[in-house]
Amino acid sequence: MQFSAAQIAQIIQGRIEGDASVTVGSFGKIEEARPGQLAFLANPKYEDHLYTTGASIIIVNEAQQLKQEVKSTLIRVPDAYSAFASLLNQYQQIKTQQLSGIQDPVYIHPSAKIGGQVFIGAFAYIGEDVVVGDGAKIFPGVYLGNNSQVGANSILHPGVKVYHDCIIGKNVTIHAGTVIGSDGFGYAPQPDGTLKKVPQIGNVVIEDFVEIGANTTIDRATIGSTIIRAGAKLDNLLQIAHNVEVGNNSVIAAQAGISGSTKIGKNVMIGGQAGIVGHIQIADGSKINAQSGVSKSIKTPNTAVTGSPAYEYTSALRSQAVSRNLPSIEKRVKELEDMIQSLLKQAKP
């Protein structure tokens, strides 16, 4: 597909400097782009490439000042990074919209309700009373258990498994290998030392505009629902346990684990490999540093924590600074002790 600078500027509401008729057919990094490709400049660290790149079109910030002549056509926008992201999203939508129809072989139960303009890839399984909304894309090897729902324009990539009764909203993207609605981890210890499984009869609800990375697992609730609120973004390789709630527009990076019944607020940011115990609350806007271990509730909004056990970020930095100085502090303490001993000896009659 080819797009002119004029068409791109209209999509991202930008202002053109240069040849509006020049066209591009693919994307490239500004330091590597070739003629016929589109690049962007948002980080000043890459500004030198603006004057040497082969890119035909470059998206730049409105405030970007030029130090020398630029051969490429520029499209100026208030925020180059956001504009480029929007453009990539539009491009991806165009590509996925081209997918339609039902490939063979698939299994679709007669009671399932399939919307219009849907794509269902080969070897997909659609169970009893499943609802698939208009424009949804179900890639090969996807499993949709009985009574599950997939909202309009949602995309389930190859190998996604959605267990029975789980609900996926509109415009949700779930990447390959993710499992939605597997059993929560619940066992009751018995007098003889064995463990009796607690049936997990709830479900998972994923609201609109959520994105979930590859090979993430989100367990169904024991009773009620595990809920991922609208706009949340979950990375690859996450473990979200039973009855957890993740708030609107919260972001969780790879390899983090959230234990059962924990409630995460809105606009929370959780770094990679962080671990959060069960039955606690994380206030809106909290920031949890990578590899932190959160063992108690964060009650004050917009708090940043780090460490294991996690504690307030600024205090943690002070503690780290002090710990780095421990050898010199120990030396000074020893010198003070020697001085005190010397003074005590001198004071004796």
CB 149 within 8 Å of CB 129: no
Predicted confidence (pLDDT) per residue in 256-296, tens digit: 999 999 999 999 999 999 999 999 999 999 999 999 999 99
Predicted confidence (pLDDT) per residue in 157-208, tens digit: 999 999 999 999 999 999 999 999 999 999 999 999 999 999 999 999 999 9
Share of the chain above pLDDT 90, in %: 83
Assign domain 3-97 to a CATH class. Answer: alpha beta
Q: Give the pLDDT score at 338.
A: 87
Q: Over the chain, what is the mean pLDDT? A: 94
pLDDT surpasses 90 at 342: no
Q: Give the burial class of 253: count Cβ atoms within 10 A of its Cβ; 0-12 exposed, 13-18 middle, 19 or more buried.
A: buried
Predicted confidence (pLDDT) per residue in 133-150, tens digit: 999 999 999 999 999 999
The residue-averaged pLDDT of 84-111 equals 89
- pTM of the predicted structure, to 2 decimals: 0.82
Matching residue, tokens 């498994």:
161
Q: Give the pLDDT score at 349.
A: 66
Q: How many CB atoms lie within 10 A of CB 311?
A: 17
pLDDT surpasses 90 at 96: no
Q: Give the pLDDT score at 323.
A: 79
Record: fold of 101-314: UDP N-Acetylglucosamine Acyltransferase; domain 1 (2.160.10)
Active site annotation includes 175: no
Q: Give the pLDDT score at 191.
A: 96
The DSSP output letter for 48 is: G
DSSP strand pairing (73-77 vs 15-17): antiparallel
The residue-averaged pLDDT of 203-221 equals 98
The catalytically annotated residue of 49, 157, 175, 242 is: 242
